[in-house]
Amino acid sequence: MPAHTESPSVALVTGGTSGIGLSIAQALLQDGLKVVITGRDPGKLDTVVRSLKMEDDHFDVAGYACDVRDRGAVHDMVDRCAKEHGEPKVLVNNAGRSGGGVTAAIPDDLWLDVIDTNLNSVFWVTREVIRSSDAIKQPTGRIINIASTGGKQGVPYGAPYSAAKAGVIGFTKALAKEFAAHGGPTVNAVCPGYVETPMAQGIRASYAKLNNVTEEQVLADFEAKIPLGRYTTPEEVAGMVRYLASPAAASVTAQALNVCGGLGSY
């Protein structure tokens, strides 16, 4: 009679088709988890899932097209994930966007979209996973939210982004303490600083336009603020997530941990 092989734990990673989210998916796959990623673009999602499967025959990865701003779509995505791949034991709320400008000129639609994408979606996805998954509610469950050093110290011309990420940190700590009293999962936030991603390139372009300087000057100014003198890589952020998702981090909860080259010191 063949030996029973336990199914791998399931990790759900929102916004997993590029940048930090893709690096997180790769790291968790390397640790033997089954990883389900989401993204808004079905074509890009399919391409990324195929690419990840080609990296290693042992990678167990799937994807769902989902706009995390849509509560109905979030409900359906989490329900399908639990039924088709297993209840998530690890949740990484990574989906997000940049957004800002001169605060007095920020239109309502931009403010609301940044808040929906970066903050409200974290609540909506987390709530649905908690409702759908007994696995996530165990002491071995892990909820990891990607916040930002901007949520701790503010970003000039980034009021919507900073407000949303500050909200993610507050939500993380509140939920962590709620679960800690009942032996539930750990809940933590990871706070990247400047990370070299496609979104970072767009941010530099926006700052260059706002300040009437070149993108190269913006990059030099940003790097000058960072004690290590360079941007963080997506893989370095994923390394922190990988640790928090592991058994070694069982006593780490209600924390907002910086991965920022020294940019943030609290």
* Domains defined along the chain, listed by start: 10-195+232-259 (3.40.50.720)
Q: Is 161 one of the annotated active-site residues of the chain?
A: yes
CA–CA gap between residue 232 and residue 176 (Å, rounded): 27
User: Which one of 64, 161, 194, 231 is the catalytic residue?
Assistant: 161
Asked whether the predicted pLDDT for residue 4 surpasses 50, the reply is no
Question: What is the tens place of the pLDDT at every residue in 71-108?
Answer: 999 999 999 999 999 999 999 999 999 999 999 999 99
Asked whether the predicted pLDDT for residue 3 surpasses 50, the reply is no
- Is there a contact between 192 and 21 (Cβ–Cβ < 8 Å)? no
Question: What is the tens place of the pLDDT at every residue in 236-257?
Answer: 999 999 999 999 999 999 999 9
Helix, strand, coil share (%) of the chain residues, nearest 5:
50, 15, 35
CA–CA gap between residue 120 and residue 159 (Å, rounded): 16
Dihedral of CA atoms 215, 265, 227, 101 in degrees, nearest 10, equals: 10
Question: Whole-structure pTM over 0.85, yes or no?
Answer: yes
CA–CA gap between residue 112 and residue 140 (Å, rounded): 35
The pLDDT value recorded for residue 190 is 98
Of residues 1 and 227, the one with the higher pLDDT is 227
Question: What is the tens place of the pLDDT at every residue in 208-221?
Answer: 888 899 999 989 98
- Is there a contact between 112 and 119 (Cβ–Cβ < 8 Å)? no
Question: What is the tens place of the pLDDT at every residue in 138-194?
Answer: 999 999 999 999 999 999 999 999 999 999 999 999 999 999 999 999 999 999 999
Question: What is the tens place of the pLDDT at every residue in 108-122?
Answer: 999 999 999 999 999
